[in-house]
Amino acid sequence: MTVMDRRPGKGSGITAESYRALMRHQAGAVTVVATELHGMRAGLTATAFSSLSDSPPTILVCIHRTAGAHDSIIAARAFSVNILAAEQQGVAERFSGVGGVRGAARFEGSSWSVLKTGSPVLDGALASLDCELVEHHVFTTHSIFIGHVVGGSVRAEAQPLLYFRGDYWNIGQNNG
């Protein structure tokens, strides 16, 4: 299948729908990005997450500017990135808004701790990174958050939860 839907006009590139169709073929780790500001927790499911550097340890995560956690991350100057384990699909769905769950209610039903920054860290995640916000850059609909990793935890025996072709995948099982 070839996706070639183009916007009208010379050099405009492909449509947003075609772009999303193409990007669905990149398997990605599923994360929950979380923060806490003045006792109020906020978080969202994200797959646009990447290591940036190991000197100093930094990551980047891209978040839509209308997401409920967006402004809280900027104000708190800290956030966590929790890489979900295969059995945490329900957490991913809850933090993506499935069932209409919003705000701090997304944290219910899971156990959370805090590390150095005070941002919520999901107990039992495959890995969690506790980050201080170093920079953020606005690009059209999203912000790119760059975080200095100041702490973390890992559950080495767990399998990752992946997102691929619009669905969740557990590489420990046959999904085909």
Domains of the chain listed by start with CATH number = 47-162 (2.30.110.10)
Eight-state DSSP code of residue 155: -
Q: What is the pLDDT of residue 5?
A: 62
Q: Which of 42, 104, 39, 30 lies closest to 73 in space, CA to CA?
A: 42
Tokens representing 45 are 């499911």
* d(C-alpha 164, C-alpha 54), whole Å: 27
Do the beta carbons of residue 160 and residue 92 sit within 8 Å?
no
pLDDT > 60? residue 4: no
Confidence at 27, pLDDT banded by 50, 70, 90 = confident
* d(C-alpha 171, C-alpha 159), whole Å: 7
Do the beta carbons of residue 89 and residue 95 sit within 8 Å?
no
Per the model's pLDDT, the better-predicted residue between 7 and 85 turns out to be 85
Q: What is the pLDDT of residue 149?
A: 98
Confidence at 63, pLDDT banded by 50, 70, 90 = very high
pLDDT > 60? residue 52: yes
Q: What is the pLDDT of residue 16?
A: 85
Tokens 């099982």 found at: 173
Strand partners, 68: none
Tokens representing 50 are 């990447």
The listed range with the strongest mean pLDDT (11-25, 93-107, 117-131) is 117-131
Largest CA distance in the chain: 52
Do the beta carbons of residue 63 and residue 73 sit within 8 Å?
yes
* d(C-alpha 147, C-alpha 149), whole Å: 6
Eight-state DSSP code of residue 107: G
| Threshold 0.75, pTM exceeds | yes
Tokens representing 171 are 């590489």
